[in-house]
Structure 1
Amino acid sequence: MDANDGDRSRLPAFFALAFAWSWTCWLLAPAIKARSALAAGVLSGLGGFGPGVAAVAMVGYGGGRAALRAWLGRCLQWRIGWQWFALAFFLPLALMASAALMHTALGGALGASPVAGHLPLAAANLVLILLLGGPLGEEFGWRGYALPTLQTRHGWRVASLILGAVWGLWHLPLFFTADTLQGRIPLLPFLLSTVALSVVFAWLYNRSRGSVLPALVLHTAVNWWAWVVPGLLAAGGSRQFALVLGLLVLLAIGLLAWPNRRAWAARPSDSKD
C-alpha cells in the first residue's frame, strides 16, 4: 500500500505513536542521566526516531511487507534529478548567508565558523547529523507518511501548514531539556520556523515525485549549515536567527501564493488546492 492511498483514519494513530515514542524517550533520558550519561544519550537519540517508527508501524499494519516494500520504494526514489538534491543542500546556506550579510550591514560582527581549520570534523558532523540529528528518524514519518496522507484530504498548502505545527509541537519536551537547540530558542519563533520550513519541505517533496531523499538532504543541511554559519546559534545570535526566520517566512509565503499550481506540484493527486 502506498501511503498516499492509505486509510486516512490511521493518521491520528501515527501522530499518537510518534509523540508517545519520542516524548517517552526524551522525558526519561534526563531522569537516568545521573546514573548513566551514555544510556541517557542513547535514549535521547532514539527519541528522534519516533516519526519513522510510527510510519513503519502504520504502513506495515495496513498492508504488511508488500506495503512496506512499495512505500520504501517510493520514499527512496533517487532518479529525480540532481538539481533537487543541490537545491535541498544549498538553499539553507543561501538563507543563512544572506542573513549573516544583513547582520553585518546592520553593524553586527561575525565570529569564526566552528569548522574553520577542522574540515574532517565538519564532514563527520554532517554524517552524524544525518544519522542521529533528526533527518533519518523523522523524514520517513513526516514527509514519507504524514504529508502525502494529509495532502489527499487538504491539498499540499494546508497539509504543509498542519504538519509544520505538529512537527514543531513534537519538539516540546526538548524546550525543557538542558543542552538542546530548542532550549536556546523561544517556542513561538521555533514553531513559526517549523511551519515555514514545512511549506518548503512539502514543495520539494511534490517536485521530487514523493521521494524522501531530498527531504533528508534539506533537513540535514538546515541543521548542519546552522552549525557552520558563524554566530547563528551562538549566544547573542538572536538577530541573525530573526533575519533567517524572516527570509524563510517570506520564501514560504511566496511558495504558498504562487498562482500556477502545476508548476509547483509534481503530483496533482496529492496537491489538489
Structure 2
Amino acid sequence: MSMLIRTVRDWPVTSFVVLAFVITWIGFIPFYRAGGEDIAWFTFGPFVSAVVISALLGGWPKVRALLASVVKWRVPPGWYLVAIGLPVAAQLLAIWLNPLLGSAAPNWGNVPAIPEIAVMVPLFLVFSGPLGEEPGWRGFALPALLREHGALNASLLLGVIWAAWHLPLVLLNDYSISSAINVMVAAVVFTWLYQNSAGSVLPAILMHASHQNSVRYLGRVFEGGDATQHQWIGLMLWLAIALAIVAIYGTHSFRNGGATAAVS
C-alpha cells in the first residue's frame, strides 16, 4: 500500500489517467453490448478516478476540496454566459456558414421541440459526460498540469488525453477524426474558462453540456455529407476561438495579468 501511495504521489496525473481509462473502458463494455442504448455509466470514470487519487494523495481534505470545486457557484456571472452561450453561438454560426459553402439549407424540422430538449438536457448533463468527466479533467488533472506547465502546454497535453479517452466510441461509429481534433482544440477553451472562473469546475460542466447538446440537437439540421461538412466548420470555429484566446492572453495562463489561478 505504501508503494502504491508513493507511486501516486510521484506520478499523480499519470495515476489518475491510467485509473480513469481502466474504469471507463471496462465500464464501456456493457454500454457497447447494449449498442449504445443504455445509461453511459462509463463516463464517470474520470470523476471516480479523481476521487480515488485525491484520497490517496491527501485523504478526505483533498477529496472535499475536489468536490467543493464542482459545486462552487460564486463565479463572475459573465463566465456563466460564456460557458452556456459560446458553444451554442458557434453551432449556430456553423449552421449559417454551411449553406454558404455549398450544403443544402438547414432542415429545422429535424430539431426536437423545445420542451423535449428541456427535459433531456439535464439528464444528458448528468449521465452523458459533463458531470462524470469534468471533475476529473478540469477538477483534478488540469490544476495538476498547470503546476508544471503553461496554460497552452497543459491544455494540449490534457486535450490529447481527453481525445484518447473517447476512443471506445469508435466501436459505435460515434467518434470521428473531426471529433477527436475538436476535443483537443476545446481543451484550450476549457482551460481559459477554468482559469477565469475562480477555480470552479461548474462552468466547465455547463460548457461541456452546452457544447454536447448543441451538437446533438442543432446538428440534426444537416444530413449525410452536409452534416460532415458542418462538423468540420464547427471545428474550424472552435480552432479560431482557441487561437484568439492564445493571441489575446498569451500562452502562460490564459488570464488577464498573467497570473495562474490558484489550485489545490
TM-score computed with the length of structure 1 as normaliser? 0.84
Counterpart contact for 2:151–2:254, Cα < 8 Å: no
Where does 1:244-263 land on structure 2 (aligned, <5 Å)? Answer: 244-259=234-249
CA contact (8 A) 2:135 2:201 kept: yes
Alignment of 1:241 onto 2:241 = no
How many pairs align? 252
What are the within-5 Å matches in structure 2 for residues 30-69 of structure 1?
A: 30-31=32-33, 33=34, 41-42=38-39, 45-69=40-64
Two-structure CA RMSD over aligned residues (Å): 2.4
Shift of 1:21: 0.6
Summarize deviations over 1:34-66 as a string: whole Å, max 9, x none.
xxx89x724xx1111100000000111211122
When structure 1 is superposed on structure 2, of 200-209 and 258-267 the one drifting more is: 258-267
> How far did residue 18 of structure 1 move?
0.3
Cα 1:64–1:195 change in 2 (3 A) is same
Superposition deviation, residue 16 in structure 1: 0.5
Question: Matched residue of 2:72: which SS?
Answer: coil
Q: Does 2:228 align with 1:226?
A: no
TM-score (norm. length: structure 2): 0.87
Q: Which amino acid in the other structure matches residue 200 of structure 1? A: V
Contact residue 196 and residue 249 of structure 1 kept, 8 A: yes
User: Where do residues 139-218 of structure 1 align in structure 2 (5 Å cutoff)?
Assistant: 139-177=134-172, 181-182=174-175, 185=176, 187=177, 189-218=178-207
Counterpart in 1 of 2:28? 26
Q: Taking structure 1 as reference, are residues 268 and 175 closer, same or farther at Cα in structure 2, changes over 3 Å only?
A: same
* Contact 1:114/1:227 (<8 A) preserved: no
The one-letter amino acid paired with 2:259 is P
Which secondary structure state, in structure 1, belongs to the residue aligned with residue 149 of structure 2? Answer: helix
Task: Kindly indicate whether the alpha-carbon contact (under 8 Å) linking 2:198 and 2:261 is maintained by their aligned counterparts in 1.
Answer: no
| Partner Cα separation in structure 1 for residue 111 and residue 94 of structure 2 | 19
Structure-1 residue corresponding to 2:255: 264
**Matched residue type, 2:209:** T
Given that 2:107 and 2:221 are in contact with CA atoms closer than 8 Å, whether structure 1 keeps it comes out as no
Superposed displacement of residue 144, structure 1: 0.4
The answer to whether the 8 A contact 1:49-1:137 is kept is yes
Task: Give structure 2 stretches of 5+ with no counterpart.
Answer: 1-7
What's the counterpart of residue 110 of structure 1?
106
Contact 2:87–2:211 under 8 Å retained in 1: yes
Shift of 1:133: 1.2
Question: Deviation string for 1:116-142 (max 9, x for gaps)?
Answer: 5x2221101111110111001000000
Percent identity of the aligned residues?
31
Change in Cα spacing, 1:23 to 1:267, as seen in structure 2 (3 Å) is farther
Q: Could you list the runs of 5+ residues in structure 1 that have no partner in the other structure? A: 1-5
Q: 1:176 to 1:265 in 2, by over 3 A?
A: farther
